[in-house]
Structure 1
Amino acid sequence: MKKICFLFNHDQTHQIAHSLPIALQMAKSGVADVTLAVTSILVEAEIRRLSGAALQGVKIVPLHTKSAVSQLLVRTFDRLVPARKLLVYRDNLEFFRQFDALVVSEKSSLILKTRYGLDGIKFIHTRHGAGDRAIGFNAESAQFDLILVSGEKIRDRLICDAGVPPEKIRITGYAKFDIIVPEQKPLFPASDRRTILYNPHPSPHLSSWFKFGAEVLEQFYQSGRYNLILAPHVMLFARPWTITIDRLSIAPAKKPHRRYHNAPHMLMDLGSPACTDMTYTNAADLYLGDVSSQVYEFLNRPRPCLFLDAHDTPWQGNPNYRHWATGPVETDASDIIGAVDAAFASQASYSDAQRAVLEDSFSVTDIPASVRATAAIIDYLDQAIG
């Protein structure tokens, strides 16, 4: 029986649901010896919350930085950069060597192959999200042995932009949709207002937050015509400064004023599990954002979208902004309430575009994505290592 490790080495909880359903399905089916490796209490708690009884009997192994040098580096640098995330690989090489395959939703684990020489392990990428950002299709992707993708759009861009050989890719659908989110209380009890989800991205060179965020919140606060959920990408406020490396940029992560937390028609959630488990994308009537892949989870049930371009982006025809074809794009937030009104009114004109991006982004069959992904992994390993 193959020994397979699903690694959850994340600073936050946003990537968990992209591989956890596959791990649970694989363990349930008994086709492999499955281990879940976790690197923080936060991540383990979210795994347990999302899994419920399905986790019974599944092995969970906590991984830590072990050397004194690593622990010093974590204390010194982790508030600014993901030091612990990278150092945990070096300090647990013997643990990783025991597995036939490592299944991950991010790319930092490739350091085990490129720096530490663990060539005997098959590296399998589930990705996280079905978004359009260029960083999701860089050449690093080609270093994986197998990549599971949600739809044709992702497969085609990996081949074209990242140079991934087609035989390394399997279309298996969107495993996150297999998660059953615990039932929530109404977000705005006894309210007949429509609800807007504002979901800005953390990258300073892409996000609308740093230029427009304060203006957006104040206008909704003063208007009171809509309910507003601020649920940004969970990494926006995870550290005092937001730093991105795909295009070096840095900005202070200034949190919203406390008065917004007390407004009955506003919900400020800066990083709870509800930000990543589709609670808000399922509950909202309109999506307001910029480049987060969560727009695709929102569009799984088509509704109005409105995008804020804070960088005068030449986006038309650019595959990195394909989702911007699914709703109006504003370069000015001075009348965000009026822009929301117009987005609701114009929804019918975006229906075809929304349907097209959904069909291209998500492969849907009668078989759940986690079942398809489990079969693809086991089939690949049977052929690759016998």
Structure 2
Amino acid sequence: MVAQRDRPFRICFLFNAQRHQMLHGLSTAALLGRRDDMDVTILSPSPGHIDYARWLVERLGGSSIRYERLQSSLLESARRLTGSSVPPKILTLMVLAHRLRHFDAIALPERTSIVLKRMGVRHPRFIHLDHGAGDRAAGFDPRIRLFDFVLMAGAKHRRRMLREGLIREGAHAVVGYPKFEAADAARDPAWTPFPGDDRPVVLYNPHFSELGSWEQMGARLIAAFAAQDRYNLIVAPHVRLLDGQRARARWQPLFDGYRGHPRIYVDPGSDRSIDMSYTSLADLYVGDVSSQVYEYLRERRPCLFLDAHGVDWREDENYAHWHFGPVVGAAADLMAAVDQAFASHGAYRDIQDRAYEETFDARGESGSQRAADAIAAYLQSLPTAG
């Protein structure tokens, strides 16, 4: 029997990674914070994250949320040493563990923080929030099975997670994609880096992993676009690619070389890189293994994929998105490939439609509302009061 409660559930949305993950939880947190039976805290070691959370929650309509920055001179020193936007995750968790024991639930859009269970944080229920809906094996991390409750965007993820033993019946929910509501509230839909220019806009969105195309093909692709005048190019890598002093120092000279170019716009990691500004305005997506291609296909458009490693990808489910457009290797004529991607889009439209519908369950209310309702129902079903 479910015990009667004499106080709201205390739930912490912990953001212990770069800012892009926040859009996968803030709209859900805002809705939970409007409920009388939920006491919501947003917690992060980054003051910038807390400022961003306050700003976005207000744009989402406001909410009764407590905002808490974990302040520690040790963490700040570590963050400055690495040059990252956040301190090292494990160090943060070591400092934070005692504080987190008092919550009823901790909602996380990443997996590293599940190590809190091994640090003695055993009272709270851990809720996994998807941060992306792509195909790479990294999105199906074995640590997901350690969570008490798991949210996911659609049927594709549910099938694979069940098959791999990452979720259990009764301990997960398909809710759609809450990031859509958060991103819609965050971005300015009228903004463009190329005002008054009607050339088609190409987005190059390389991933930070070793499976990506940046190291082998990035500089050559930018140079190819700089040498033509038919297309505009936005270069917006995954924000983790340039998060750190070493990476920024290595690539800043390349970016500086295109500063002020009328048809090249480089974003090394601003908030527009996370709020779907670029995936919304682009006419062609050029990428590799980033899940952002699915966000781009919210409106079906041409895609081009860069195979920098000679992958045997056609029957590999980790590369299912490479069926959404042409795939070219490291030696390809890149501008000819761009032209082909535009010209051949009709051949890929049906598979884009099917894959999008499998990836994002769009039935009923918004993803944020469904996620909030699922979390509330799960906590209310627990057999004991905290």
TM-score, length-normalised on structure 1? Answer: 0.91
1:41 Cα shift? 1.9
Work out whether 1:40 is the aligned partner of 2:46.
Answer: yes
Secondary structure of 1:352's counterpart equals helix
Distance 1:125 1:163, change over 3 A: closer
1:329-383 superposed Cα distances (whole Å, 9 cap, x missing partner): 1113542111011001000000111011101100002311111111111111111
Match of 2:271 among 270, 273, 291: 273
Match of 1:49 among 47, 55, 66: 55
1:192 Cα shift? 1.4
Match of 1:295 in 2: 293
Tell whether the 8 Å contact from 1:239 to 1:253 is kept in structure 2 after alignment.
Answer: no
Work out whether 1:100 is the aligned partner of 2:104.
Answer: yes
Measure the CA separation in 2 of the matches of 1:333 and 1:28: 54
Tell whether the 8 Å contact from 1:196 to 1:227 is kept in structure 2 after alignment.
Answer: yes
Tell whether the 8 Å contact from 1:306 to 1:343 is kept in structure 2 after alignment.
Answer: yes
Q: Which runs of 5+ in 1 are unaligned?
A: 243-250
Measure the CA separation in 1 of the matches of 2:55 and 2:239: 17
Match of 2:151 in 1: 148
1:51 Cα shift? 2.3
Match of 1:91 in 2: 95
Match of 2:283 in 1: 285
Tell whether the 8 Å contact from 2:238 to 2:273 is kept in structure 1 after alignment.
Answer: yes
Tell whether the 8 Å contact from 1:137 to 1:162 is kept in structure 2 after alignment.
Answer: no
1:8 Cα shift? 1.1
1:79 Cα shift? 4.4
Match of 2:4 in 1: none
Distance 1:196 1:151, change over 3 A: same
Structure-to-structure mapping, 1:91-170, within 5 angstroms: 91-114=95-118, 116-170=119-173
1:167 Cα shift? 2.7
1:317 Cα shift? 1.5
Match of 1:181 in 2: 186
Distance 1:85 1:382, change over 3 A: same
1:153-186 superposed Cα distances (whole Å, 9 cap, x missing partner): 1111112235432332210110001122342433
Measure the CA separation in 2 of the matches of 1:253 and 1:200: 16
Distance 1:290 1:236, change over 3 A: same
Measure the CA separation in 1 of the matches of 2:84 and 2:192: 36
Work out whether 1:309 is the aligned partner of 2:313.
Answer: no
Measure the CA separation in 2 of the matches of 1:226 and 1:85: 40
Measure the CA separation in 2 of the matches of 1:147 and 1:90: 24
Tell whether the 8 Å contact from 1:64 to 1:88 is kept in structure 2 after alignment.
Answer: no
Deviation larger for 295-304 or 158-167: 158-167
Measure the CA separation in 1 of the matches of 2:362 and 2:99: 36
Measure the CA separation in 1 of the matches of 2:246 and 2:171: 37
Distance 1:330 1:173, change over 3 A: same
Secondary structure of 1:36's counterpart equals strand
Measure the CA separation in 2 of the matches of 1:178 and 1:343: 29
Tell whether the 8 Å contact from 1:308 to 1:330 is kept in structure 2 after alignment.
Answer: yes
Q: Which amino acid aligns with 1:58?
A: I
Work out whether 1:239 is the aligned partner of 2:237.
Answer: no
Tell whether the 8 Å contact from 2:205 to 2:235 is kept in structure 1 after alignment.
Answer: yes
1:57 Cα shift? 3.6
Distance 1:75 1:7, change over 3 A: same
Measure the CA separation in 2 of the matches of 1:261 and 1:91: 41
Measure the CA separation in 1 of the matches of 2:331 and 2:34: 49
1:35-89 superposed Cα distances (whole Å, 9 cap, x missing partner): 11121022123223322253454210101346x5x6665555x348975322121
Secondary structure of 2:55's counterpart equals helix
Match of 1:245 in 2: none
Deviation larger for 375-384 or 184-193: 184-193
Match of 2:65 in 1: 58
Tell whether the 8 Å contact from 1:138 to 1:162 is kept in structure 2 after alignment.
Answer: no
Match of 1:211 in 2: 216
Secondary structure of 2:323's counterpart equals helix
Q: Which amino acid aligns with 1:254?
A: W
Q: What value does the CA root-mean-square deviation take over the aligned residues?
A: 2.0
Tell whether the 8 Å contact from 1:290 to 1:307 is kept in structure 2 after alignment.
Answer: yes
Tell whether the 8 Å contact from 1:22 to 1:370 is kept in structure 2 after alignment.
Answer: yes
Measure the CA separation in 2 of the matches of 1:347 and 1:380: 43
Tell whether the 8 Å contact from 1:181 to 1:279 is kept in structure 2 after alignment.
Answer: no
